[in-house]
């Protein structure tokens, strides 16, 4: 529903009053703005493709791997493997127990990158684009086209493949919806896409349907993992009154968006025609 000016003022006051309480307790670095932090139950780790160079491993007391991409549970050693000819990011980390422990090997997970770097605008609509490198590429054009109407930001805050494969989205979605310091991000529109990193072979290597945590996933797990992400974003939309839309993986077949219209307005982008529209729901 459309918020009145009074409601917006109350919302802003609430956000300003609770920012201190929302900050994640673990300080990773003050070098970035906002400062990089992680929540309890996680570990600060360097992240090569995070704009702040930091991210959060979902395990407490974790071993951050020297590759700058993955991490292992406490008491394990990072052991990377990468087939000949694969790109540098095409590695899988096996977490081996230290000192011959009876613990079993586990597969390392990717370090979660943070959400948008700037706080929500108090004078414009706020648009959050969550997606892979394609969305990283078009977000600046969307931001320019809508600069008089909205502050447009991308999550995660970083480069490479952005939100990567759906398994990474399931793991890191809560981080994408917060700033690097842990403050929840309030958006009017959330536009999201996953699929480019779930199954298709994009380069000479790796092959299709290979699992590389934080980079690539298999096609057969795409649908249930996207359903998980969608359900959580719908819950976010319901609790915040946000309008959102979903870009399906089929954009790479028919070049169009499937927009879910909610609330007062929504954003539609067509890569094929290069058009950007700010629409009112009817």
Contact 55, 113 (CB under 8 A): yes
Half-sphere exposure of 27 (CA within 13 A, CB side): 7
Nearest-angstrom CA–CA distance, 275 and 73: 46
By CB atoms closer than 10 A (0-12, 13-18, 19+), residue 77 is middle
Tens place of pLDDT per residue across the chain (282 aa): 333 323 322 232 233 333 344 789 999 988 877 889 999 999 999 999 999 999 999 999 999 999 999 999 999 999 999 988 888 888 999 999 998 777 789 999 999 999 998 988 999 988 899 998 888 988 898 888 888 888 999 999 987 889 999 999 999 999 999 988 998 888 888 888 888 888 887 778 888 889 999 999 988 888 888 888 888 887 776 566 555 544 433 333 333 333 333 333 333 433 333 343 444 333
Q: Whose CA is closest to 56, among 189, 187, 197, 158?
A: 158
Quick: pLDDT tens for 123-169: 998 889 999 888 898 889 888 888 888 899 999 998 788 999 999 99
């Amino acid at each position: 529903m459309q918020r009145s000016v009074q409601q917006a003022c109350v919302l802003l006051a609430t956000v300003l009053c609770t920012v201190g309480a929302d900050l994640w307790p673990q300080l990773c670095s003050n070098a970035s703005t906002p400062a990089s932090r992680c929540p309890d139950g996680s570990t600060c780790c360097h992240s090569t493709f995070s704009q702040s160079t930091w991210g959060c491993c979902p395990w407490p007391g974790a071993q951050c791997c020297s590759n700058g991409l993955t991490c292992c549970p406490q008491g394990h050693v990072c052991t990377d493997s990468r087939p000949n000819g694969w790109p540098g990011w095409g590695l899988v980390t096996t977490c081996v127990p230290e000192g011959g422990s009876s613990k079993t090997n586990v597969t390392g997970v990717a370090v979660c990158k943070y959400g948008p770097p700037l706080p929500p605008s108090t004078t414009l609509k706020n648009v959050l684009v969550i997606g892979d490198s394609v969305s990283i590429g078009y977000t600046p054009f969307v931001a320019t086209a809508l600069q008089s109407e909205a502050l447009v930001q991308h999550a995660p805050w970083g480069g490479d493949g952005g939100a990567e494969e759906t398994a990474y989205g399931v793991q890191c979605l809560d981080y994408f919806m917060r700033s690097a310091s842990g403050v929840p991000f309030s958006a009017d529109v959330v536009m999201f896409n996953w699929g480019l990193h779930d199954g298709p072979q994009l380069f000479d290597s790796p092959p299709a349907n290979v699992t590389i945590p934080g980079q690539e996933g298999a096609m057969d797990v795409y649908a249930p993992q996207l359903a998980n992400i969608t359900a959580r974003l719908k819950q976010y939309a319901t609790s915040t009154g946000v309008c959102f839309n979903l870009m399906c993986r089929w954009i790479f077949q028919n070049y169009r968006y499937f927009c879910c219209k909610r609330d007062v307005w929504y954003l539609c982008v067509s890569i094929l025609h290069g058009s950007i529209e700010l629409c009112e729901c009817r």
